[in-house]
Each structure stands twice: as structure tokens, then as C-alpha cells.
Amino acid sequence: MTGAAGAGPQLSGSPWFPYAAEESDAATRLFCLPYAGGGWAVFRDWQEQFGPDVHAVPVKLPGRAERLHEPAVARMDRLADRLAAELVPLLDRPYALFGISMGALLAFETAHRLVERGLRAPDRLFVASCRAPQESFDTPPVHGLPDAALITVLARLAATPPQLLANAELMRLVLPTFRADLACTETYVRSDRAPLPVPVTAVRGQGDGTLTEAMVDGWRAETSAGFEQVELAGDHFLVHGDQRELTALVRRRLPRSGPGR
């Protein structure tokens, strides 16, 4: 289905998507999930990297950008429950899930919920900059730190603009979202269940000092449909900077058939 001639992008009926994902005739949908504290805008330019056969659909999580008035969700299971429900109307064609860091765990948990409900499974799960679900964190949790200490941690992560960190009023608005996202990751516990019947592509940045090849290789145990680990140029935040190598990898792994498959 397409919009009327001359009409611009139509707004989605769901607050989880920046535009109507159902308005595209693309053969495949790619749902993109950001890292902790990130918003859908980190994937704003991805559509330009794909041809008309792929519709890159960023996911708008509660507590940021246009949804800043909504409280962020601090439990991974609850967030995955809500996202899975929003995706149901958009499973009419091949699709894949791409998540980076926290978004990778969210994509993984969402895929499990869709499969457990007997719904169409993703054709592929892309997990970037994320240790395997069974890997425990070797650093103390930070989501409960006082504001000043948490801001210091965020400054070290290098993904938060310095001008935002220096703006006390803006930080007052966004710190609850950072805390909730970090809590989602730091309190996450993998459930004991069968591997996903979905191929997994795990991506690690060559300059990512937070992950080792072994930490990422554990994703192999989470799929019964094939696994690969790919190393690309970049650090933990692969979606910043030149993303052409990353999007080219994703494009090569996506299905090409259309609706009704």
C-alpha cells in the first residue's frame, strides 16, 4: 500500500515507529533498535543505504525524543513484551531485527516472544556490540549511581554529545531514560529455553574494548539456524560515523522475497 500521489511520509498509527511502516511496498522490513540512551534518529539515514526492496524501520522506544513524556521501561522483559505486541500487525512479510548493545538484547527477547506465540519469526537477527545473553557483566552496575556520578560514566561512553552532558536542564529530563535503559541491561537474566530457529549475525567493532571475540561467540548457542560473527572497523557504537560497511553486511544477509512468503 502506498500513499496518495504527492503526499509526504505518513505518520504511523503506532508511537513505536516514526512513520507508517505499513505504507511501504518493500519486500522486507528491517526493524532497528538503538543502544541504551539512544533514539531512533541514529538510524535516520539507513534507508538511503538500502534499495527499494528493504524498508528500514527505526523503533521509537518510550522515554526519548517524541516519547520523552512517557516513562522509559526499566525491565527488559516488559519492554520486549510491549514491542512484540506492536510488531504483530507488521509481520505480513519477511523481516529482520537489528539491535545494537541494549537493542541487541531487546531484539533477541522480542524474537523469542514472537516465536513463542507462533507468529512469523524474523528471517535473521542482527546483534551488534553485545555480549552473548549468558555472559555476565564483569563491571559493577551503574544505573543506581547518583546523578553526578552517572553523568561521569556517560561522558566516558563517548556516545552522549558533550553539549548535552553540560546542559543541566536537559540532563534532568533524559537521565531517567539512561537509568532505565542501563537497568534493562544490568538486571537482565537470560531465560532457559530452546535456541531460536533464526540465523544470527553477531557484529563486533575492531576497536571495541568492552567485548572479546569469546564474549560474542556465545551467541552461537542461541540459534539452531546458523551463526556467524563478523568484525568490522569501528568501536562499540558502530552506528555512528561511516556506516556503509555495516549496512552493506546487513543488506547482503536480508531476504529478498515479498509479502505473503
Report, as residue numbers or ranges, the catalytic residues. Answer: 101
The separation between the first and the last C-alpha atoms of the chain, rounded to the nearest angstrom, is 17
**By the 8 A CB rule, do 129 and 203 touch?**
yes
Supply angle C-alpha 55, 59, 63, rounded to 5.
160
Please report, for residues 55, 56, 191, 206, 230, the alpha-carbon distance to residue 49 in angstroms, rounded to integers and kept in the order given. Answer: 10, 9, 35, 22, 19
DSSP 8-state code for residue 217: H
Environment class of residue 129 by beta-carbon count within 10 Å: exposed (0-12), middle (13-18) or buried (19+)? buried
